Structure 1
């Protein structure tokens, strides 16, 4: 069976803000709501990393609020890194001056992109689902940023599991805010063909990674050739990069 090697990246880019230690959450909190700091330089660094990949999932990309200087960061990265296709899913608003989105960058043309709001105690989370190829055997790539609370995460993972239940060629990537062996994650593994990551990659905090909370989960029909965690400029999360082999038939 003919396959195609694809490189995928998942990155929580923290809207281009810089966090180099826990003290920055307080000392540099202004950068999360105001158009200050070297956000453009950070985005250029992220674009250089994203440009080495075929499909990129973004979390915490600003869709064009005050703090980004009204720049749609997903669009900016697509142009800067030379991606022909992009989409974004605005979700949470922060204090009326900032907004956050999931984003997709792709060198392959999706057949369609679906925007699904996720359940949870606090509204404003979503999953962006890109479908490549025809029918149920096509490649499905889902991008999500899950809640901090376990009860909300369980409801969100249950919703995502229903979306991907019948997909033989599926990837779920994003900031899960939990380790891959948490009880709520077992629901996802039972209801879909997605598997726990073979390699546990600590991604948070970026300056001293201790927790594996950013994941890229795949189904067994997509053999993983390589996987690593990489800096995403000065975000507080490391990005996850993966090379995997996709059947050509799943992309047509």
Structure 2
């Protein structure tokens, strides 16, 4: 299966740290450039089976009241999508979501712990009875203390999951002490090592796909495309036959 994780910055593009200030208006106002960027994102993600999206707006002033997850699903031909709104800021309603070629069995929205509310984890199940595949989309805190709390939460959450992938913007590299709880049991490992942030001069590997032992990495790639302040990360994964049969069965129901 082909996975991708992408922080889309609500469809806005930033080309330097300076532009976080000079183009700050794009964080609260709609503009045509966002639709062009979303069209580019839709074309990029179309070959994937699952796409984890961070900083997708659910429908607010800055997107012209367009639900960005729904728009991407329609543009890229994904029959199923889920969205978790993490904050309601009035002019903006950022959140995370998952686009899927397969129908989920269940979707659970978790609130991650932290001093500042507004971080979540979207848990999506495909199948049941121990042979299911579980994908979790996260966008973690900016501070090391917040990341550590959230890593502990996610480690506990996934402790008994046999086939699981955690995808998202971790705001920390795999070597960071704040992510150590996720790797302590050696059940999870990072599938990608190349930097993805910032998009104009990538130097930090913070957009991660963490896989459990039964999921094998076949190929990992960071796409150098000027769409967001992050670069998209794609992972091709070999899954157990039991998981493949479960997914095939979901598309036959």
Give me the whole-angstrom Cα distance separating, in 2, the residues matched to 1:122 and 1:191: 28
Segment of structure 1 superposing worse, 132-141 or 221-230:
132-141
Residue in 2 that maps onto 1:186: 180
Give me the whole-angstrom Cα distance separating, in 2, the residues matched to 1:193 and 1:147: 23
Give me the whole-angstrom Cα distance separating, in 1, the residues matched to 2:60 and 2:185: 37
> What TM-score do the two structures reach when normalised by structure 1?
0.93
232 and 78 in structure 1: CA distance in 2 versus 1, 3 angstrom threshold: farther
Q: Any runs of at least 4 consecutive aligned residues in structure 1 with deviations exceeding 4 A, and if so which?
A: none
Contact preservation (8 Å) 1:167, 1:193: no
1:89 aligned onto 2:84: yes
Give me the whole-angstrom Cα distance separating, in 1, the residues matched to 2:174 and 2:201: 19
Residue in 1 that maps onto 2:41: 46
**What is the CA-CA distance between 1:86 and the residue it aligns to?**
0.4
**What is the CA-CA distance between 1:50 and the residue it aligns to?**
1.1
Give me the whole-angstrom Cα distance separating, in 1, the residues matched to 2:224 and 2:38: 12
Give me the whole-angstrom Cα distance separating, in 2, the residues matched to 1:196 and 1:100: 26
Residue in 1 that maps onto 2:197: 204
SS in structure 1 at match of 2:82: strand
Residue in 2 that maps onto 1:3: none
1:143 aligned onto 2:137: yes
Question: Out of 84, 98, 101, which is 1:104 matched to?
Answer: 98
Alignment of 1:110-129 (within 5 A): 110-129=104-123
Aligned residues: 245
233 and 130 in structure 1: CA distance in 2 versus 1, 3 angstrom threshold: farther
Give me the whole-angstrom Cα distance separating, in 2, the residues matched to 1:174 and 1:124: 15
Give me the whole-angstrom Cα distance separating, in 2, the residues matched to 1:156 and 1:196: 17
Segment of structure 1 superposing worse, 59-68 or 227-236:
227-236
Give me the whole-angstrom Cα distance separating, in 2, the residues matched to 1:100 and 1:55: 20
Give me the whole-angstrom Cα distance separating, in 2, the residues matched to 1:172 and 1:137: 17
Give me the whole-angstrom Cα distance separating, in 1, the residues matched to 2:119 and 2:13: 23
**What is the CA-CA distance between 1:233 and the residue it aligns to?**
4.7
SS in structure 2 at match of 1:161: helix
Contact preservation (8 Å) 1:165, 1:192: no
Structure 1: runs of 5 or more not aligned: 1-5
Residue in 2 that maps onto 1:29: 24
Segment of structure 1 superposing worse, 230-239 or 177-186:
230-239
Residue in 1 that maps onto 2:15: 20
> What TM-score do the two structures reach when normalised by structure 2?
0.93
Structure with more strand by fraction: 1
SS in structure 2 at match of 1:21: coil
Give me the whole-angstrom Cα distance separating, in 2, the residues matched to 1:187 and 1:85: 32
Segment of structure 1 superposing worse, 20-29 or 70-79:
20-29
Contact preservation (8 Å) 2:199, 2:226: no
**Root mean square deviation of aligned Cα:** 1.3
Contact preservation (8 Å) 1:49, 1:232: no
52 and 233 in structure 1: CA distance in 2 versus 1, 3 angstrom threshold: farther
